[in-house]
């Protein structure tokens, strides 16, 4: 079967906490009033979203008349005791310094390790693909977080890059396309397209 399928990954709109550089994993702020979004079409068979407010609000803004499927497995990494804090708040903390030097090895106190985080995302992605294949849906969208999208790009993009090499601005989207059989066997996608943020119209 050579059928093409698309999964679009959409990063939620910016929050005030994002603007001040705070670590917000499971912290639950709203999107900012001036948040901007990529221009996506409304022809998706299924709409998935992280259950945190900044994602559900973004999804509601993009698809006001559609029902979304909530998926807590696609939350951002849990930063534990560092939730809501900035680099300036933490720079003299020895455990934080160790984590910054190797964030893929250490875990924040009370938070998730990168391994725990990626295992959760893998579980969520498998559930998304199973639901997509159940009725042979061809095009779905997932509103989620920067860390989630970076990991999925690291794992599935045609071009291999490290986690930190992927730049995913708030409100932007990335379209990944597979042959359905390749997606079923968890292979890398065949093509990737960045959906840019819309420029604000004058007036």
Known binding residues for substrate: 11-18, 54
Structure tokens at 76: 């951002």
Taken as a whole, the chain contains a residue count of 203
**Binding annotation:** 11-18, 54
Question: H or E stretch including 127?
Answer: helix 114-134
Question: What are the angstrom distances between the C-alpha of 145 and each of 1, 15, 32, 46, 148?
Answer: 32, 12, 15, 18, 5
Q: Whose structure tokens read 């996608």?
A: 189
Q: Whose structure tokens read 């609000």?
A: 57
* Sequence-distant (≥ 6) Cβ neighbours of residue 1 within 8 angstroms: 179, 180, 181
194: number of Cβ within 10 Å: 13
């Amino acid at each position: 079967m050579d059928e093409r399928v698309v999964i679009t990954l959409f990063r939620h709109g910016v929050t005030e906490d994002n603007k001040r550089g705070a670590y917000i994993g499971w912290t639950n702020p709203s999107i900012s009033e001036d948040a901007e979004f990529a221009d996506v079409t409304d022809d998706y068979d299924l709409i998935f979203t992280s259950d945190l407010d900044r994602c559900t609000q973004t999804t509601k803004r993009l698809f006001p008349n559609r029902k979304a499927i909530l998926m807590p497995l696609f939350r951002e990494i849990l930063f534990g005791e560092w939730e809501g804090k900035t680099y300036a708040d933490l720079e003299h903390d020895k455990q934080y310094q160790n984590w910054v030097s190797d964030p893929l090895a250490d875990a924040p106190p009370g938070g998730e390790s990168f391994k725990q985080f990626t295992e959760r995302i893998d579980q969520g992605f498998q559930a998304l693909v199973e639901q997509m294949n159940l009725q042979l849906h061809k095009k779905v969208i997932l509103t989620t977080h920067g860390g989630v999208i970076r990991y999925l790009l690291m794992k599935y993009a045609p071009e291999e890059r490290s986690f930190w090499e992927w730049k995913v601005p708030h409100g932007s989207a990335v379209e990944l396309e597979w042959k359905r059989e390749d997606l079923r066997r968890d292979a890398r996608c065949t093509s990737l397209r960045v959906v840019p943020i819309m420029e604000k119209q004058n007036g």
